[in-house]
Structure 1
Amino acid sequence: MRKSVLVAALALSTTALAATPPEGVEYKPRRGFFTETDIGMFFTLGGENTYSNAQSYLQLGVGYDLTETLSLGLHFGLGSSAANCFAGYLPDSDICALSDNFTVAFGDMTAAYHVRMTDRFYLTPKVAAGYTRLDPAPVDVSGDPSRTLHALNAGVGIGIEYGTMMDHFSVGADFLARYVFGPNIPTFALFPRVKYTF
């Protein structure tokens, strides 16, 4: 009799453990209004030197998760292109006609789609589009080479996101490629992300 009670208790406890989520509550990622801070690296392609030296990149963002899978955001990004000449060299020299070092500032709207891989891990393809400011102008498109250059940009990216055990925090990493129209400069940013969802 005791053996059958013990076997039944063990069978029931195993079933209960298998069916009960951790801490008795099914995990759901927190969704809603969020902010994020991203620090990584940035570089450009093209120009006389083919690619720029990798530079630091900072991005700050706010956004809102419209559904479990779709989020929209506004992001400000700041990077720089170093040692890459887009205006061509002066005749018979290796001196760039305009600056070969310039700051690139982005103000973009982004949309991301969350593809669930596991309970806490997501693949996040995204698109971005918005405004770009290049200072000083790396190419002369206005007849005034000393001016700051303003242009539009658009791009695509891929990222990962992990919902940590700290309820409001997610961490991840993104690779984002954007094309600046006008000066026709491809830019790339690779950065880890820290996201706080309210």
Structure 2
Amino acid sequence: MKKSLLVAALALLSSPALAATPPEGVEFEPRRGFFTETDVGVFFTLGGENVYSNAQTYLQLGLGYDLTEKLSLGAHFGLGSSAQNCFAGYLPGTETCALSDNFTMAFLDVTAAYHVKVMDRLYLTPKAVAGYTRLDPAPVDPEAGDPGRAMSAPNAGLGFGIEYATGMDHFSVGADLLARYIIGPNITALSIFPKVKYTF
């Protein structure tokens, strides 16, 4: 009698347990919505008399929003510098740059990224950027004739990255390669950086 009651009780308890969805059967969905991003990497310019500049530290901060599972828009501020690359040409008969061959480049850009799923948690992220660049001091002939003056110019570029949604909720990590062309001074800037993304 006791054995029959025990079997009946176990049968009743097992029904709700079996009705619940097992955690292993739930497909992973990365968190989407408002996000912030912090990136630290390397930066250099191409072109000029020296062909390329020395690699320098690059810092980028951003915020944005995932419009859909695949498309996101963001705004990013980036800061790097071009070291030992002359864009103004050498003074006649010398190898001295006519203007500064060391200058800071500050970027304020709008970014559109597309998320291509490779596997669970892993995405490829091609992107396009556009905005303005502040160059200080001006690396090419400033119109005002003041060699210490800064200048601003539009920029546009393309990037490619990889992003992984970690097991820690809210956090994604990845890496990007971003190429920008500064229109006017005709300078190509490259930045390579790992990134940490927090989605609220």
Q: What is the TM-score with the length of structure 2 in the denominator? A: 0.87
Structure with greater Cα Rg:
2
**Partner-residue secondary structure (3-state), 1:88:** coil
Partner of 1:176: 178
Partner of 1:86: 87
1:159 lines up with 2:178 in the alignment: no
**Could you list the per-position Cα deviations for residues 105-158 of structure 1 after superposition, in whole angstroms to 9, with x for gaps in the alignment?**
000000000000001000000000001000000001414232101000000000
Moved over 2 A (4+): 19-22, 143-146
1:106-125 pair list within 5 angstroms: 106-125=107-126
**Partner-residue secondary structure (3-state), 2:92:** coil
Partner of 1:187: 189
Question: For structure 1, which runs of at least 5 residues remain unmatched after alignment?
Answer: 1-15
Shift of 1:104: 0.3
Equivalent position amino acid for 2:183 in 1: F
Count of aligned residue pairs for this structure pair? 180
Shift of 1:20: 5.0
Partner of 1:38: 39
2: CA distance, partners of 1:152 / 1:141: 15
**Could you list the per-position Cα deviations for residues 81-122 of structure 1 after superposition, in whole angstroms to 9, with x for gaps in the alignment?**
000000011111111000000000000000000000001000
Shift of 1:21: 5.1
1: CA distance, partners of 2:144 / 2:93: 23
2: CA distance, partners of 1:141 / 1:129: 23
Contact 1:62 1:75 (8 Å CA) reproduced: yes
- CA RMSD of the aligned region, Å? 1.4
Contact 1:141 1:182 (8 Å CA) reproduced: no
**Could you list the per-position Cα deviations for residues 64-83 of structure 1 after superposition, in whole angstroms to 9, with x for gaps in the alignment?**
00000000000000000000
Question: For structure 2, which runs of at least 5 residues remain unmatched after alignment?
Answer: 1-17
Q: What is the TM-score with the length of structure 1 in the denominator? A: 0.88
